[in-house]
Amino acid sequence: MARMKFVCDAERCINCNGCVTACKNEHEVPWGIQRRRVVTLNEGQPGEKSISVACMHCSDAPCMAVCPTNCFYRTEEGLVLHDKDKCIGCGYCFYACPFGAPQFPNGASAFAARGKMDKCTFCAGGPGENGSEEELKKYGRNRLAEGKLPLCAEMCSTKALIAGDAEVLSDIMRERVLRRGYGAELWGWRVAYGDGKQAQRGQRVHAPEKP
Amino acid sequence: MCNRKIVALFCGLTGLLLTACTEKPQTYTPGVSTAASDPPPYATPPFAGNRSAWEAAVSTRMKGQNEYVRVQ
Amino acid sequence: MLTKKRVSNATVGSARSLATPMVSRREFLKRAGLASAAGVTFLGARSGRWVAPAEAQTTQAVNPASGEVVRRSVCTHCSVGCAIDAVVKNGVWIRQEPVFDSPINLGAHCAKGASVREHGHGEHRLKYPMKLVDGKWKRISWQEALDEVSARLLKLREQFGPDSVYWVGSSKHNNEQAYLLRKFVSMWGTNNCDHQARICHSTTVAGVANTWGYGAMTNSYNDMQFSKAILFIGSNAAEAHPVSLLHVLHAKENGAKIIVVDPRFTRTAAKADYYVRIRSGSDIPLIYGVLRHIFANGWEDKKFIAERVYGMDEVLKEVEYWTPERVEEVTGVSDDQVHMIAKVMAENRPSTVVWCMGQTQHTTGNAIVRTMCILQLALGNVGVSGGGTNIFRGHDNVQGATDVGPNPDSLPGYYGIAEGSWKHWCRVWGVDYEWMKGRFASKELMERPGITVSRWIDGVMEDPAKMDQPTNLKAVVFWGHAPNSQSRGKEMIEAMKRLDTLVVIDPYPSATAAMAAMVRKEGVYLLPAATQFETEGSCTASNRSVQWREKVIEPLFESQPDHVIMYAFAKKFGFANELCKNIKVTQNARGWDEPNVEDILREINRGTWTIGYSGISPERIKLHMKYMHTFDVKTLRANGGPCDGEYFGLPWPCWGTPEMKHPGTPNLYDTSKPVMEGGGCFRANFGVERNGVSLLAAQGSHPKGASIQGGHPEFDDKLLKQLGWWDELTDAEKQAAEGKNWKTDLSGGIIRVVMKNHGCLPFGNARARAVVWNFPDPVPKHREPIYSPRPDLVDKYPTHEDKKFWRLPTLFKTLQQQVKEISKEYPIIMTSGRMVEYEGGGEETRSNPWLAELQQEMYVEVNPRDANNANVRHGEWVWVETPTGARIKVKARVTHRVPPGTVFLPFHFSGHWMGQDMLPFYPEGAHPIVRGEAVNTATTYGYDVVTMMQETKTTLCRLKKA
Ligand code: SF4
Ligand code: SF4
Ligand code: SF4
Ligand code: SF4
């Protein structure tokens, strides 16, 4: 297995928030924490596009780079996970992340007292025994260890959001693009996964981009 | 980790940061993660170490996301 | 960018500080199905204190295989019918898995479906029976509740007659409950019952059924994958039926052209190839404009019209009238765009149309939907895969409740309420017709359609001398219906004041409870009902496929399933034996008597020959639920396996007895298939000729393989004898069929012989009617809404004359004339619609924290121009005021979604009343998390001239900065 990624196909995403509540449901994510959310550009106007965003599990992850306790780690599948026992809730990762993925349970505002960082785990839990009660409580379900994929993607209403091995995702997208006859907007891909040279690290995105 | 250690670590870091321009380069150096170990997804039941079975299972789910497989 | 976006959303989203409901730790453990109480969690961190991991208990690995059971159910939030796998452990619903096997949703869900597990925890539910005592909610026992409510209702029945009680049923009941409620109300002795379909697609059901036979979606969500062009008009499917877009976008990817016509640039429009902005309520002229181009270019399907349509010539005269100039004057749509629609629809056949409440909720709803049918008839798009009128229904079982549930003008299966209909059902129920008649105030009232749910308030307040029933309504039972979905909320409060008794039977207390507590001191009862996940039964998706829901968990708190509550009341009312003569009654886990759900469905099977629920046995649907993966996603047909050749969910009509093994009908009126493979033709329901013109299909037009190769009337014993087919019946069948027709022959013999032996449909083979002569406007006519923004057009296109129907005098022209100039004071068109996160009146979904968090405030969408004119900025409070004197305080969402001169409000909110939070009026702890103004507090008077559909899509308002 190579490298796990997310793709949100902006041609299909209808901003239905199915992915968002699927995540809430699977991991009992509390009120105020959004591991995933849907962003809409040009709302209400021709060209309106929505994209569902969570942690992209970046190739060269800025969050990892800035964490003062180095609590992040990368799994064999390329997932960027972290250890809540080591996290001090400082919020650096939030500022470093180009996607605003890290969330803080108590963070009503950016400067208020925070809890431990929480973010999308690609439904792969965290440190410790897979599928254990402790993992469940701290990080949510470990679907990957059950041989399943992220629930947000598996439940996406239009199959806009897909998750898995980069090669398989490319195949799926290629087929769609071929049929549509025009390119896919793989929003955020270059930022998250680099262009080979991985030069984009830390740079913020301002608009949808073509790969 | 007990609370005191966290506080100590935090103070230390704050000290570091306060030295502003001499900030440490913010790149991730592989191998220094402090996270506790996390067994790979195929290590535990239901796959119990059978990596290829796990890969097969996940790969079926992945391909299943392509509705063109079921719909032409 | 993202963080910024989040903040800007937050201006509307969280400007108001919310009480932050979170799951308690105990709750979390319970939800997760974990027994032990361990310490840490990121949830624990919410307390503001980080608990050191050392405190955490070392835990057992959860073995996913241990003690977990999977129960298959169906989402309860819309008519798409997405399947759900619920994982249950120790009686707790712990997880929800996608059902990739379902041909309908392939595992997909929108926000609502992906969060239904929350209903299995439901902290905001109504937990036990309550009554209003001195203006306060007080907990009572079920016994007290049943005793008191039944005593009060029986007293009213004695004093004022059975018609003094109004029963609002529900499209959220399963088929069995909806059916049992119709039977229950009949035995109570009235036709005063209704449900959500009235205010959802009643105009569709009436208009479309009168055009060609049945009033349902002709094809299916799946079949839209065969469409080459799709016209959405008055439908925002991306929000209202999100998973339908799975099929639509798949079609689009394969070249289908998508057109969206709507006053708003909806999320569906965002996915379209073409978007056309129309003035709300002007659909008829637009479609005539399209038809004009179709006929001018010779794009009409001449053969189809010649063989299968009646009255197209007459329609052409109206088409002639609608010149491009006139169309543009009324609709605001330029001729280029009208031409484009015609061209795309004509050149990309098969093309289909989709409509929803944007078309139905108008005073002219019945006529609007008929123009859509005419359009499809002209293009020859009916009865073909990829074509049809894909009418997306609303609630998860609104189709089923329409088919077999509490309708004021019909017994189950659209049998009507004439003497013959009653006799038919009395036979099925095993009760004496004379006994049944004795339950009613009179035979006349037994055969007179009841009051509609849209008008119950007038049933309470109208002068009884002007009504077609001897008494005002004295009691209303809201059995799974939100009050905030009916228009004229301001008057509803008055009606609630006047009632003797108000009963709410619902999993949630609903806005009814709060509205009533606001104006009353006593006489209101709340009874907790179970959700559909706490019982079993069948439900019918929009495409007529029937699916079976297994019971996921036992009813929560003190709730009971609706059919159990019905039986308990029937015992009190003294007709329990009659209600369940053919239905086994057993004790449920809590010792209540429960009518057997499967038996109820079998009784439905035995009675509803008209629409072919007769073949849909519990055994057959359960088999389909189990073998979902064997069905093709596009055709819905099983390829091999135990259901080989059948269509998923046996889309009705699934003709004859279950033993006849009809496969269901995926696309209605499709002559390209033999009838035993789901083929068909238009129904002969309106006679055989009119003014010397035949109403039957032309020679040569018939379902494939039919032995009668052209039009014919419906079958009865006489026709069978005439044709010499009588002796093909068995002796037993002959006995049952003598003197009967296909609808009333309880043996199903007529249907069997006609279909299996001769390849004909029992309901005949006729033409679709472009002219519905029994309607006020036989050829659809544009008429301005009552509250029209265009006084000039009111003169040209006035509404109907005032009329008394459905037992109530109803205003049309008088009121329109009175308010003709009111647009000077209220210049902005007010329209309403759906949001993806919530359903219907919204109490249920707004009580679900996973959904509530996403939409925390009621809003009004305002074009920047109107916002500037009213001096309101994005995120500010604004009063929306309407001519009724109502004013609602909502947040302004300044957006280009709506054009200048039109504002949009979602209709899922309740819990605020003209600026006041109604929180104190809800039973403690049972309030929805998110509350807001109900748009219908402010909506105005106006009803469809055939069905009493309320006008909520076009009325007038003005904005005042708050
Ligand atoms: S930078 Fe953000 S998106 Fe990338 S891995 Fe870290 S948290 Fe995820
Ligand atoms: S992958 Fe899992 S944790 Fe991440 S957003 Fe999706 S559902 Fe949530
Ligand atoms: S579920 Fe799919 S379509 Fe819906 S918002 Fe999420 S990514 Fe978009
Ligand atoms: S609300 Fe409708 S589209 Fe959404 S999951 Fe439920 S059935 Fe499917």
pLDDT in tens, B20-68: 444 444 444 555 788 888 999 999 888 999 999 999 999 999 999 998 8
Q: How far apart are CA A156 and CA C428, in angstroms?
A: 45
- Of C48-52, C465-469, C660-664, the poorest mean pLDDT is in C48-52
pTM for the whole structure: 0.91
- Between strands C309-310 and C351-355, the pairing is unpaired
| B19 inside 8 A of chain A by CB | no
**What integer is the mean pLDDT of C107-130?**
95
Reduce the DSSP state of residue C199 to 3 states and report it.
Answer: helix
- Please identify among residues 28-47 of chain B the ones whose CB lies closer than 8 Å to any CB of chain A: 28, 30, 32-47
Sequence-distant (6+) residues with CB within 8 A of C716 are: C740, C741, C742, C750
Share of chain C above pLDDT 70, in %: 93
- Separation between Cα atoms, residue C117 and residue C106, nearest integer Å: 19
Specify the DSSP element, H or E, that contains C916: strand C916-917
Residue C36 has pLDDT above 90, yes or no: no
Fold classification of C202-391 (topology level)? Dimethylsulfoxide Reductase; domain 2 (3.40.228)
Is there a contact between B44 and A146 if contact means CB atoms under 8 Å apart?
no
Sequence-distant (6+) residues with CB within 8 A of C555 are C530, C534, C535, C561, C590
Q: How far apart are CA C764 and CA C760, in angstroms?
A: 8
Does the structure show a pLDDT above 50 at C905?
Answer: yes
In terms of DSSP bridges, do strands C68-74 and C165-168 run parallel, antiparallel, or are they unpaired?
unpaired
Q: What is the CA radius of gyration of chain C?
A: 27
Q: How far apart are the first and last CA of chain A?
A: 23
Structure tokens at C366: 């019945």
Nearest CA owner, ligand 2 atom 4: A120
Chain B hits for C64, CB-CB cut-off 8 Å, are 46
Ligand 3 centroid – CA C244 distance (Å): 13
pLDDT in tens, A78-90: 999 999 999 988 8
Collapse the DSSP code of C158 into the 3-class scheme (helix H, G, I; strand E, B; otherwise coil) and give the result. helix
Estimate to the nearest angstrom the gap between the alpha carbon of C442 and the chain centroid. Answer: 31
pLDDT tens-place string over residues C361-398:
999 999 999 999 999 999 999 999 999 999 999 999 99
Residue C41 C-alpha from the chain's centroid: 42
- Ligand 2, atom 8, lies closest to the CA of A23
- Tokens of residue C653, six digits: 């009509």
- In the reported structure, the alpha carbon of residue A95 is separated from the centroid of ligand 1 by a whole-number distance in angstroms of 10
Q: H helices of C390-449, where?
A: 398-404, 419-429, 433-439, 443-446
For residue C889, the SS3 value is: strand
Q: CA C96, C100, C105, C110 torsion: positive or negative? A: positive
Where are chain C's structural domains?
A: 15-120, 130-197+398-414+456-544+559-603, 202-391, 609-770, 791-961
pLDDT band at C21 (very low <50, low <70, confident <90, very high): very low
Side by side, the strands of the sheet bearing C83-89 are C68-74, C83-89, C92-98
Residue given tokens 């049952």 in the structure block: C736
Q: For residue range C402-437, list pLDDT tens digits in order.
A: 999 999 999 999 999 999 999 999 999 999 999 999
Q: What angle do CA A179, A184, A187 make, to 5 degrees?
A: 155
C68: three-class secondary structure by DSSP: strand
Residue type, C921: F
pLDDT of C759 > 60? The answer is yes
**CB neighbour list of residue A35: distance below 8 Å, 6 or more residues apart:** A23, A27, A29, A54, A55, A101, A103, A118, A119, A120, A121
Residue type, C583: I
Q: Do domains C130-197+398-414+456-544+559-603 and C202-391 have the same CATH topology?
A: no
Are β-strands C902-906 and C828-833 bridged in parallel, bridged antiparallel, or unpaired?
parallel
What is the CATH number assigned to the segment(s) C130-197+398-414+456-544+559-603? 3.40.50.740
Q: How confident is the model at residue C834 (pLDDT cuts 50, 70, 90)?
A: very high
Does residue A166 sit at the B interface (CB-CB below 8 Å)? no
Tell me the Ramachandran region of residue C94: left when phi exceeds 0, alpha when psi lies from -120 to 50, beta otherwise. Answer: alpha
Q: From chain C, pick out residues whose CB is under 8 angstroms from the CB of A37.
A: 6
Give the pLDDT of residue C258: 97
Instruction: Check residue B67 and give its pLDDT.
Output: 87
User: Which contiguous run of DSSP H or E holds residue C177?
Assistant: helix C175-188
Pick among 3.40.50.300, 1.10.10.10, 3.30.70.20, 3.40.50.10440: CATH of A4-180: 3.30.70.20
Beta-carbon contacts of residue A133 (< 8 Å; ≥ 6 apart): C34, C36, C38, C57, C59, C60, C61, C62
Query: What tens digit of pLDDT does each residue of C150-166 get?
Result: 999 999 999 999 999 99
Spacing, Cα C110 to ligand 4 middle (Å): 6
Which ligand 3 atom minimizes the distance to the CA of C114? 1
C295-304 per-position pLDDT tens digit: 999 999 999 9
Residue with tokens 């057997």: C596
pLDDT of residue C650: 97
Cis peptide before C242 (omega within 30 of 0): no
The secondary element (H helix, E strand) that includes residue C148 is: helix C142-160
Query: Architecture of domain C791-961 in CATH?
Result: Beta Barrel (2.40)
User: Residue A204 — very low, low, confident or very high, per pLDDT cuts 50/70/90?
Assistant: very low
Q: Between these two residues, A202 and C646, which has the higher pLDDT value? A: C646
Answer positive or negative: Cα dihedral of C504, C505, C509, C512: negative
- Fold exhibited by the domain C15-120: N-terminal domain of TfIIb (2.20.25)
Q: How far apart are alpha carbons C955 and C953 in whole angstroms?
A: 7
Question: Where do the domains of chain A lie?
Answer: 4-180
Residues 34-73 of C with CB under 8 A from B: 52-54, 61, 63-65
Name C26's bridge partners: none
Measured distance CA(A125)–CA(B37) in Å, rounded: 12
pLDDT of residue C32: 61
